[in-house]
Structure 1
C-alpha cells in the first residue's frame, strides 16, 4: 500500500486521539557508522522510543521524546538508489528517520558502543535510520504520526523558520544528511542514495546554506575531542541563558561536567559522580497502562533502562552521587551520600579548612569550611535540594533507593536492602530562588558549592541557608555564557 505521496505521512486527522503506546516491528537501526539488528518490537510512548537491539550484549537503547528535533516516514522505494535495502530486495519497507539533539546523539553512540562491546566509531550522528519490517499501513502510519506529535515530542522540535519542519520530506532529509560531519555524510548518502541533480544555481546555493544550518549554530564540544562523552553546545542552547529563560538539559549537563572535570578544585570531585540530566528521566519514565504495567514498574525493569550508564564506574566507591532532576518544568537536585557505607559512622576530622572571613554571614556549621567539630557524623542518605520546595520528593527518593538496590546486586552479587530506614532522605534547608525561572541556576550552584565547601557533618536536615549569597546565582548566567565563549574561542583557534 502506497501513501498519498512517495514520502509523506497520512493526514493526522485519521486518528482522533493518540494511543497510550504503540509497538511496531522493525528490522535494524543505523546510528552513525554503527548498525544493529532488532531484538523485538520498538515501543513508542509519550516519553520516548525504546529500541531492543542485538549485539555482543543484547540490550536496548532509548530516545527521549524531548530530544527528537524532527522525524520523517518514507516509502522504501525512494531509496532504491542507495545500499540500505540491497539485502532486502523485493520486500516493501518503510523507513523512519529521527533527527535528534546532539546530546541524545552522544548518548546513543555510547550505548551502541557498549552494546557491541567496542569503542565508538566516528563522530556522534544526529540522524537515526530505522528500517521497518514491512511497509506500514495507513492506520499504523497515522498512529505513529499522532504519537510523534504529542507534547513531550514537540518540546524538542526545531522552532526556527529556517529549520526543516516535521514530518521531514525527502529533500529536507537529504539536506540534513549532507550537513553531517565527515565521514557520516558520505556513509549516510551511500545508504540512501545521492541527492538528485539540482539544475538551478540559486537552488544549489540554497541547499548549501540550508544543509549547514544544524551545524552553523554549533559553538563548542566539551570536553574537547578526542575525549568521550562530549556535550555539544549550540547558539540555540546559549539563548536559554538570557534573563527570564529556563535552563535546558544541554546547559545543565555541560556545566555539571565542567564542574566535575575543572571547576571543583578539590578532592571532593574525585569522590563524586554526576549523572546526566537524562538519567532520572529514563529511570522514572512512565509506561503504558496495560496488563504489563506491573512488570514495567518492577525495580529490575527500571534498572534495565539505565544499567549501561555506570558500566565504567562503580558508584559504591564514590561518596557522593549528584542526580539533576526536572519534574513539571522545575529543576532540583538529589545528592546520594555514601551509597556504599553501611550505617552511621563517626569520624575524626584529621584536618580542617575553616574559613577565616570578615563576611557577616559565616559558612554553614555542617560544611567543611564552617565545621568546628572534632568528630563528624556520616551516614547513607539522600539529600534533596530544591529552590522552591513546591514538590514532594518521597517518590523520587524511593526510585533512587530501588535503583541502588538493584545496582548493588549487579555489582556485588549480594542482596542488600536500601530503604528509608537505612538510607534516610530529607529536604535540605538551602537558599531559595526569588523568581520563577532560576531553578536550574540554583541546581548548578548547589553542586558547585558542594564541591567547593562540602557537607561533612550529616545531622539531618543540613542547614545550608548561608551556603552562598543570592547575588552569586544572579551572576551565573553571564558566567556560564562567558565560559562557553572562552571555550569557543579556544576551540576555534585550535
Structure 2
C-alpha cells in the first residue's frame, strides 16, 4: 500500500498490477485499530502470531462508486455484487508500534485528507475513529452488508445491539448539537478586527485528547496566543513567530509552473514563495525567530537567534535585565527541586553574557535530520537580507552556527507538538541569555508541565469561545 499526500493506492491480491486508488479529499474518516479486537471474527480466522493492526477508511459516495467500477474492471463480477459500501477495512501485515500509529495518523490528518473529514454527516463522528465509532458506522450499511462486515470483526447480533444502544445513550446525553453535525467553528483568534486570525474548530479541539497528535491549527493558535498575551514582556516584543506552514512552503520541491530556469538560484525561488509573510515586519530587528517544523510527521522547534547580528558580542548582563530582575530570579526558583539552567535569564550568575547569531534546534525526540532545515533557513535569511537591506550578506555555517540543544525529552510518541509549544513558552518566560554552544536546558521545565498542557489549551479555547459568544450576543 502506498500512502502519499494526495492519495492511497491499494494493490489487489491475485490481480496482476491491479490496484484501487482512494483520493485524499474523498476520505471522510479513518481509524487505526488493534486487530486483537477482531480476533473472534472471520477476518483474522487462522491468523498466526500477534494480531495485526487494522486500517479503517470511510470514503465518500463518489469514491465508492468509482472504486466499484475499478473493481469490476479488474476482478470477477462477484466482487461488486450487492449494494455499494463506503467502508474499506485493510489488514496490515503486523501490529504497528505506537510511534508508527502516530506517524500514520499525522499523514491522514494532513490538510489534503482533512478536506473530506469536514464534510457534513448525520452521524457526526470525527477522525481518528475509535473502534466503537467504526461499528456504529458499519450499522449504517444496507443489509446484508452490515451483518457481513460485523461478522468479519467478530461482532454478534447481541454485541451489535449493545453498540447501538450505547450510541443512542451517547447522543442523548451529549445533546443534539454535539453529534448531529461535524466540527463547527469555535473561535477566531485574535478576535476581529485583528488581521491574521486563526480559526479553531471542534475538530481541532479533538486533537487535544490524550494520545492524539497535535495539528497545525492548535500549534499556530497557541504560539500566536503566547506571543500576543500568554506571556508578554520584553522577550515577546523582541520575537517573531512563523506559521507552521512557513517551513513547509519554504522547503517543498519546485512545483509545475514555478521558474525552472537554471539562472534562478534555488534559494531565490524558495524565498519568492514566502516573501510576503514578513512584509509587515523586519525580522532583522528581532532577537528571536521561532520556526515550528514538522518533518516526517514529527514536530520540533528551530529558533533563529540574533539574525541581524553579524558577529559574537559580549554585554553587561545587568544592563539587559535590570539588577532587581536578576536578583529575583534564583529566589523565584528556590522552592523547586531543580535550579533553572545556568544559561537562562533566571539561572544566570554572570556579570557579562555572550550572544551570537545562531540557529538552535530543540527536538524532543531527536529523530530528525536537522542540517537541511538549517541550510534552508540560512538561504532564506540571505535573500531576505538582500531584499530588506539592499546589500549582500552571507549566512554561512560559520557566521550563523547551528546547534542542537539539550532539552527535556518526551516519553511517548504523541507529545512532540506539546513539547514544541512548551519550548516556546519557556523561552519567552525564561530565555537563553548565555549562548555558549551547545546550549544545555535539561531543567528548563518539568514533564508534569507538558502533561498538563493539553487541558490548559483546551480550557483556553473554551474560555475564548464563551467570551466571543458573549461579545457576539452583545
Pick the TM interval, shorter chain. Answer: 0.5 to 0.7
Q: Superposed, which structure 2 residues align to 1:314-333 within 5 Å?
A: 314-333=282-301
Residue 308 (structure 1) aligned with residue 308 (structure 2): no
Residue 153 (structure 1) aligned with residue 120 (structure 2): no
Q: Superposed, which structure 2 residues align to 1:162-311 within 5 Å?
A: 162=121, 217-287=184-254, 292=260, 298-311=266-279
Aligned to 2:405: 428
Give the secondary-structure state (helix, strand or coil) at the position aligned to 1:420: coil
Residues 47 and 285 of structure 1 are in contact (CA less than 8 Å); yes or no, is this contact kept in structure 2?
no
What is the CA–CA distance in structure 2 between the aligned matches of 1:253 and 1:214, rounded to whole Å?
25
What is the CA–CA distance in structure 1 between the aligned matches of 2:458 and 2:228, rounded to whole Å?
18
Q: Superposed, which structure 2 residues align to 1:452-491 within 5 Å?
A: 452-491=429-468
Aligned to 2:345: 368
Match of residue 346, structure 1, among 314, 317, 325:
314
CA pair 313-452 structure 1, distance change in 2 beyond 3 A: same
What is the CA–CA distance in structure 2 between the aligned matches of 1:226 and 1:367, rounded to whole Å?
37
Whichever of the two has the greater Rg, that structure is 2
Residues 287 and 296 of structure 1 are in contact (CA less than 8 Å); yes or no, is this contact kept in structure 2?
no
What is the CA–CA distance in structure 2 between the aligned matches of 1:150 and 1:492, rounded to whole Å?
28
Residues 47 and 152 of structure 1 are in contact (CA less than 8 Å); yes or no, is this contact kept in structure 2?
no
How far is 1:266 from its partner? 1.6
Q: Alignment length, in residue pairs?
A: 309
**CA distances 1:384-441 after superposition (whole Å, capped 9, x unpaired):** 0000001110000000000000000000000000000000000000000000000000
Q: Which runs of 5+ in 2 are unaligned?
A: 8-23, 30-107, 124-175, 319-325
What is the CA–CA distance in structure 2 between the aligned matches of 1:452 and 1:300, rounded to whole Å?
35
What is the CA–CA distance in structure 1 between the aligned matches of 2:109 and 2:345, rounded to whole Å?
47
Residue 382 (structure 1) aligned with residue 359 (structure 2): yes
How far is 1:342 from its partner? 1.2
CA pair 473-224 structure 1, distance change in 2 beyond 3 A: same
Residues 344 and 431 of structure 2 are in contact (CA less than 8 Å); yes or no, is this contact kept in structure 1?
yes
How far is 1:373 from its partner? 0.5
Residues 374 and 402 of structure 2 are in contact (CA less than 8 Å); yes or no, is this contact kept in structure 1?
yes
How far is 1:354 from its partner? 2.2
Residues 208 and 458 of structure 2 are in contact (CA less than 8 Å); yes or no, is this contact kept in structure 1?
yes
How far is 1:294 from its partner? 5.5
Give the secondary-structure state (helix, strand or coil) at the position aligned to 1:157: helix
CA pair 163-396 structure 1, distance change in 2 beyond 3 A: farther
Residues 428 and 464 of structure 1 are in contact (CA less than 8 Å); yes or no, is this contact kept in structure 2?
yes
Aligned to 1:85: none
Pairwise CA RMSD of aligned residues?
Answer: 3.1
TM-score by length of 1: 0.58
What is the CA–CA distance in structure 2 between the aligned matches of 1:301 and 1:347, rounded to whole Å?
38
What is the CA–CA distance in structure 1 between the aligned matches of 2:446 and 2:211, rounded to whole Å?
20
Residues 28 and 117 of structure 2 are in contact (CA less than 8 Å); yes or no, is this contact kept in structure 1?
yes
CA pair 481-355 structure 1, distance change in 2 beyond 3 A: same
What is the CA–CA distance in structure 1 between the aligned matches of 2:433 and 2:6, rounded to whole Å?
38
What is the CA–CA distance in structure 1 between the aligned matches of 2:311 and 2:287, rounded to whole Å?
14
Higher helix share: 2
How far is 1:152 from its partner? 7.1
What is the CA–CA distance in structure 1 between the aligned matches of 2:209 and 2:310, rounded to whole Å?
45
Residue 441 (structure 1) aligned with residue 418 (structure 2): yes
**CA distances 1:323-376 after superposition (whole Å, capped 9, x unpaired):** 001011100000000000011000011255422112120000000000000010
Give the secondary-structure state (helix, strand or coil) at the position aligned to 2:204: helix
Give the secondary-structure state (helix, strand or coil) at the position aligned to 1:451: helix
TM-score by length of 2: 0.61
CA pair 491-150 structure 1, distance change in 2 beyond 3 A: closer
CA pair 375-391 structure 1, distance change in 2 beyond 3 A: same
Residues 28 and 118 of structure 2 are in contact (CA less than 8 Å); yes or no, is this contact kept in structure 1?
no
Residues 183 and 203 of structure 2 are in contact (CA less than 8 Å); yes or no, is this contact kept in structure 1?
no
Residues 6 and 113 of structure 2 are in contact (CA less than 8 Å); yes or no, is this contact kept in structure 1?
no
CA pair 366-234 structure 1, distance change in 2 beyond 3 A: same
